[in-house]
Amino acid sequence: MPISREVHLITRPHGMPQASEFEIVETNVPDAADGQVLVQNLYMSVDPAMRPRLTSGQALNEAMMGGALGRVVQSKSPDFAVGDLVNNRLGFREYFVSDAKGLSKLTPAEGLPLTVHMHALGMTGFTAYGGLLFIGAMKEGEQVFVSTAAGAVGSIAAQIAKIRGGYVVGSTGSDDKAAWLRDEIGLDAVINYKTQPIRQALEEATPKGLDVYFENVGGEHLEAALRRMNTLGRIAVCGMISGYNEGQAPVRNLSNIIYSRVMLRGFVGTDFMHLQPDFQRDMAAWLREGKIKYQETVMDGITSAPKALIGLLEGANSGKMLVKLAD
């Protein structure tokens, strides 16, 4: 019967979350009973979508929810063996017992690090792939803008757009991230929105306008993109992180979509599950060939999970934010 440490939300944040609003709690986790498995989490994912849930959705004083990759350490289920790797939604804790519903077995891709399944080769990469190619319907050689371009989703969307022959502009919030996008990824133009006014910088960076905007930020970013959209352009709305802490900033030029006949559509990864086989084939090949690069920011241990979530909202991560819970 292992002792597990887990992260509880004890007070709902207003604005940027504070470390004092979380607590690390020890619990005794029972052994697996018939039909159950005991899982030790190895890595947990830290995602912007957790912030809105802290305001509403995440219960107080119980283990928080979130994506994780774990290893089965006891099994009384016919479907799982000790040592199996399992994707689960029970992050923010070291161990858990489960009736195995909601667990999916992971077969690691040969020759690639395990953690790529938590970003480029997992739902993060799939969100970028389907959001750009299916929702955004990006075609060869189009003009593309990706916001939070050095983040987990954005960096993959921007690189797929380059692979597909696009002229690609990315925005990010630091000079280091901007340099990575320019020098390592080879984006055509990069904007540091904290040092350059986004509206003017995007205008200068997009002399041929925009066919696709892969939207991760909202507010001023969306206003700036709406001014640059070409006729029949597409805005694939993946996220709007600028509003997650403070409430959404107004977008004052939405009517631009009318005469340019711009499509603006929100989406989640499950909207295009039929693309999974194509995605797995393409992404695994791109990673092996070095055509897709990625960054990870890995914090160590369950006690660093609140700091990791706050850091993500402050832009402390380059690429995917993960917490390593065990070897």
Residue 85 three-state SS:
strand
48 touches ligand NAP by CB under 6 A: yes
Find out whether 35 and 77 touch, Cβ atoms under 8 Å.
yes
177 touches ligand NAP by CB under 6 A: yes
Where does this chain touch ligand NAP (CB under 6 A) — which range of 56-64, 96-104, 181-189, 310-318? 310-318
Residue 105, CA distances (Å) to 90, 269, 272 in order:
14, 19, 21
Q: What DSSP line would sit under 100-161, residue for residue?
A: STT-EEE-PPTTS-GGGGGTTTSHHHHHHHHIIIIIS---TT-EEEESSTTBHHHHHHHHHH
Q: What angle do CA 199, 203, 207 make, to 5 degrees?
A: 170
Judged by CB under 6 A, the residue of 98, 127, 143, 256 near ligand NAP is: 127
Where does this chain touch ligand NAP (CB under 6 A) — which range of 94-102, 148-156, 227-235, 251-259? 148-156
End-to-end CA distance of the chain: 19
Measured between alpha carbons, how far is 39 from 124 in angstroms, rounded to an integer? 23
The 10 Å Cβ neighbour count of residue 304 is 18
236 touches ligand NAP by CB under 6 A: no
Judged by CB under 6 A, the residue of 121, 153, 226, 292 near ligand NAP is: 153
Measured between alpha carbons, how far is 146 from 132 in angstroms, rounded to an integer? 10
- Distance in Å, CB of 75 to ligand NAP, minimum: 31
125 touches ligand NAP by CB under 6 A: no
Find out whether 24 and 255 touch, Cβ atoms under 8 Å.
no
Where does this chain touch ligand NAP (CB under 6 A) — which range of 35-43, 135-143, 182-190, 266-274? 266-274
- Distance in Å, CB of 321 to ligand NAP, minimum: 6
- Distance in Å, CB of 318 to ligand NAP, minimum: 8
- Distance in Å, CB of 221 to ligand NAP, minimum: 7
117 touches ligand NAP by CB under 6 A: no
Q: Which of 247, 148, 156 is nearest to 194 (CA)?
A: 148
41 touches ligand NAP by CB under 6 A: no
152 touches ligand NAP by CB under 6 A: yes
Residue type, 165: G
Judged by CB under 6 A, the residue of 74, 317, 322, 323 near ligand NAP is: 317
- Distance in Å, CB of 243 to ligand NAP, minimum: 8
The residue assigned the tokens 């320019």 is 182
241 touches ligand NAP by CB under 6 A: yes
What CA dihedral angle connects 235, 238, 239 and 240, to 10 degrees?
0
Count of residues near ligand NAP by CB under 6 A:
27
Judged by CB under 6 A, the residue of 154, 166, 233, 306 near ligand NAP is: 154
87 touches ligand NAP by CB under 6 A: no
Judged by CB under 6 A, the residue of 313, 322, 323, 325 near ligand NAP is: 313
Task: List residues near ligand NAP by CB under 6 A.
Answer: 47-49, 127, 148, 150-154, 172-174, 177, 216-217, 238-239, 241-242, 267-269, 312-313, 315, 317
